[in-house]
Amino acid sequence: MPVYILGISALYHDSAAVLLRDGVVVGAAQEERYSRLKHDASLPVRAVQWLLSDAGITASDLDHLVFYEKPLRKFERILATSVATFPRSWGAFPRQMRSWLGDKLWLRSTLCATFGVRPERVLFCEHHLSHAASAFYASPHAEAAVLAVDGVGEWATTTLWRGSGTTLEPIAEVRWPHSLGMLYSTITAHLGFAVNEGEYKVMGMAAYGQPKFRAEVDQLLRWDASGGYALDLDYFSFHWHPTRSGTPALERLLGPPRFPGAPFTPAAFPGDATPEQVADSQRYADVAASAQAQMEEAMLRLVAHAKAAVGTDALCLAGGVALNSVANRRIAKEGPFAHLWVQPAAGDAGGAMGAALWVWHAVLGNPRGPALSRPDLGRITPVDRAREMLTDLGAKFEVVDDPARSAAADLAAGKVIGWVQGGDEWGPRALGHRSILADPRSAETKDHVNARVKYRELFRPFAPAVTVEAADAWFDIPEAAREPVRWMLATADVRPEKRAAIPAVVHVDGSARVQTVDAGASPLFHRLLSEFGALTGVPIVLNTSFNLKGEPMVSCTVDAMASFHRSGLDLLYVDGFRVERPR
């Protein structure tokens, strides 16, 4: 009989579920794709229903259900922090207790009642161990240093592990409230973006600035001789205030915060902005550039310490900070490791996969299997069902025998298309299964897609997807980053002589968050790129996630049609069907 293990991450942000059969991932899904609530934190009931149904099993067939962290230890940290920071924490404490004295603290019984499993089958894995397991066990490396960096788990915020075979040995950790993830999130809030959602906007904003506030942001962080660090807590309030991340001292240090939604008009594109608006925007860009530079160098310090402590050729990264693709590029280019691995859902969603793999390898003692090689681990809509949905919605559609060739021709003609093929991507990046695609050869395409299709900030860059065979001719990819760029998790410089050919996907600093596409892992998307290259001489398309601002990526045909009708997309491709806009 096969062994089924269900991993769950939930109750903070980006809840997800992953199902293993005999140690192999057969499905992985984030709850937001079903509930349509971006970063949905609730228990992933809908995701689990799909996983079990798709596998043809019920909850009674599960050998283990594992949660990605230990609630009692997390409650200990929250309670201890509240006591240590009292009376400043008086506003946050009642909120936290209302939440934790409900379902969170008695999570085993909640999981049993919600998912229909017996108590003896429920296990709990530590948060950072789940991160480490998601990075190491899903990687192709038998030996590796494993570094997990995020906001916080139970107590740990940064951990280093030695991965060997099926063993993960803890080496060192930094504990709450000292956290690189929370430092970057505090700057994110200062710049007017939502914490746990807007950090990538800071990364994009940083390219428009210079690190002129580097001396100021360096005051926020202190390093010790052993490779550890500490925050200067005079500038932070995230550990005791219910809503505010920084103190007035931070505002005195960096200047007034940006009001959420305020126009961003730096010197690079002032438009009709007043000189004061340009000056304010440039200051925000400089703050972002300073925080990004600090994060990159902090990660390089941690990576150097990991090499000295563990001494392997491979480094596996996990945690929300591992989604910082600019930092990953510097780690690959300047760091001491020959190989860098980051799995597609490096943040909290990926903890569901790590917890499940931990049970299979560390608890049950099973040997390693194949590395994760495909991103399309989520819901698939059968072709007949997609046809039925399109018909019921009154869509004008046609069957195309070769969707890759047809879509390539439409892109070459200047159309912007929605592309829904196969299963959902695992993780936050669109990797050619739930994508908005466009021709990268016109500079106007970037502003058009931002303003008329996705309704988002004009400074936001777009990513290029390129066939793996053509990647080196167009991009300067560090050798150690060959694996992360498959998942769009490391940037690369666009070769100077190629930048004028693909201006829509070249960021202001000459870089791009490139995705290399392999025919074995994504055959249809690879063929689309090849067909587009045959037509245009450019085997690259602009690729961004198929969602509108503030929404999760689309999952099924109905989601795609809803976004299609509410956006400026020209065409929609859904599993062999070409859908036109209604007149």
* Catalytic member of 13, 131, 141, 433: 13
What is the separation of C-alpha 102 from the centre of its chain, rounded to a whole number of angstroms? 29
Alpha-carbon torsion angle 197, 8, 143, 426, nearest 10: -50
Q: Is the dihedral of CA 238, 240, 243, 244 positive or negative?
A: negative
Is 13 annotated as catalytic?
yes
Q: At 65, is the secondary structure helix, strand, or coil? A: strand
Alpha-carbon torsion angle 434, 203, 36, 454, nearest 10: -60
Q: How many helices (H) and strands (E) does the chain have?
A: 19, 23
Q: Which long-range contacts (CB under 8 A, 24 or more apart) does 450-458 make?
A: 452/567, 452/568, 453/416, 453/567, 453/568, 453/569, 454/544, 454/547, 454/548, 454/549, 454/567, 455/548, 455/549, 455/567, 456/549, 457/201, 457/264, 458/264, 458/269
Q: Cα dist. 95→47, 89, 92, 186, 247 in Å?
A: 28, 10, 5, 20, 20
Contact in structure between 571 and 579 (CB atoms under 8 Å): yes
Cis peptide before 177 (omega within 30 of 0): yes
Contact in structure between 316 and 145 (CB atoms under 8 Å): yes
Contact in structure between 334 and 481 (CB atoms under 8 Å): no
Antiparallel, parallel or unpaired: β 515-517 and 434-438: unpaired
Cis peptide before 71 (omega within 30 of 0): no
Encoded tokens for 307: 């090499």
The three-state (H, E, C) secondary structure of 247-292, written as one string = CHHHHHHHCCCCCCCCCCCCCCCCCCCCHHHHHHHHHHHHHHHHHH
Q: Cα dist. 14→328, 362, 467 in Å?
A: 22, 25, 30
Q: Is the dihedral of CA 525, 374, 425, 377 positive or negative?
A: positive
d(CA 368, CA 262): 50
Largest Cα separation within the chain, whole Å, is 70
Q: Hey, which residues are catalytic here?
A: 13
